[in-house]
A = this chain, B = another copy of it.
Amino acid sequence: MMLQVMPQKLKLTNDRLLKALSCQNTGRPPVWLMRQAGRYMPEYRALRAKYSFLDMCHQPELVVEITQLPLTVFGMDAAILFSDILVIPEALGLGLRFEDQVGPILERPLKTPADIAALPVLDVSDSLSYVAQSIRLLKERLEVPLLGFAGAPFTIASYMIEGGSSPALKKTKQWMLRDPVSFHRLLEKIADDTIAYLNLQIDAGVDAVQLFDSWAHVLGHVQFREFSLAYLKRIVEGLKPRNVPVILFCRGASVFAKQLAEAAPAGISLDWNTDITQMRLTIPQSIALQGNIDPDLLYAPKEVIQKELDRLITGMKGDKGFILNLGHGIHPDTPVDAVKYLIDAVKRYGD
């Protein structure tokens, strides 16, 4: 019997995350942090002083260096590709830039259904080839699993309509409520481009992928099913032949987790509003649960961090599908010492 082995995967010496994602981890939980390569690290800020954020996303050598930074300094159990969810709208020609203190700006947001119809067919192997190249370089170096990622269709659509971050998503929700037909057309287009983009990442070697539905919490439960979950399902289904684990992150997962489970992802990422041990009782044992530390906890004294970790790890003891993470991205002003303490403390829970 011949097994097709991808040579770059032979280097994995730590597959704790992948074991947890198949709910077969019998040791301590794997730990990684959303946005773990970020502004809280002085090494990151030093690079950011020399390059724009977009340069850092676009240049494979920089992506490789930045992705590895937190692994070198703190030793997380997984790497996540350094990139941004908005590279898809950028590749679709909406014009992406990042402004300090403001965040992302899409210079040509969608204003009418005609703008949706005019979106180009995306050739990911052309416009997003730098991502594939970054992944290939990373896979030559990494000894831990590499996570790829993309934004979820509802979240990407909201950026494409709002033209940037806009907590109330007023334009998006008005469009959705007043013209659901064209809104669905947009979501379908993004979902299909996202499947192509994640396939590109998988071809290049990522070991798992995470979908970020960062704005889904503005939706009611009926809308969530129609405008968010349906497209998460479409992507999970679309990737199924690849047999690569998919983690679903959405803000509001404390409420929406049961619906997310219907998409049958490998894992669900939880925010900190909910008790993960209680959530475990309602989510199938075949789905890993990731979370659910409040990022603000890293402002607390070490004994408070330790107490919270004890509660969480004791509560999830014996769970083979638990991945320790924050419930949201790490804050830029997080003390480096707290991150080091957290990662070391998780490792003290043994093998």
Q: Which residues of A contact B (CB under 8 A)?
A: 167, 170, 173-174, 177-178, 217-224, 252, 254-256, 272-275, 292, 294, 296-297, 299-301, 304, 308, 311
Contact = CB atoms under 8 A, between A and B. Distances in A.
Contacts of A252: 273
Given A177-B296, A254-B255, 11 more contacts: A170-B299, A177-B299, A178-B300, A218-B296, A220-B273, A221-B272, A221-B273, A221-B275, A222-B308, A254-B254, A256-B273
Contacts of A220: 272-273, 292, 294
A297 B173 CA distance: 9
**Copies of this chain, whole number:** 2
A292 B255 CA distance: 14
Nearest to A297: B177
Contacts of A304: 177
A274 B311 contact: no
B178 A301 contact: yes
Contacts of A294: 220, 223
Contact of A174 (B218, B222, B299, B308): B299
Most chain B CB within 10 A, of A254, A294, A296, A297, is at A296
Nearest to A222: B311
A332 B252 CA distance: 25
Contacts of A223: 294
Nearest to A174: B299
Kindly list the 6 A-B residue pairs having the minimum CB-CB distance in the complex, ordered from nearest: A177-B300, A220-B272, A255-B273, A173-B296, A254-B255, A220-B294
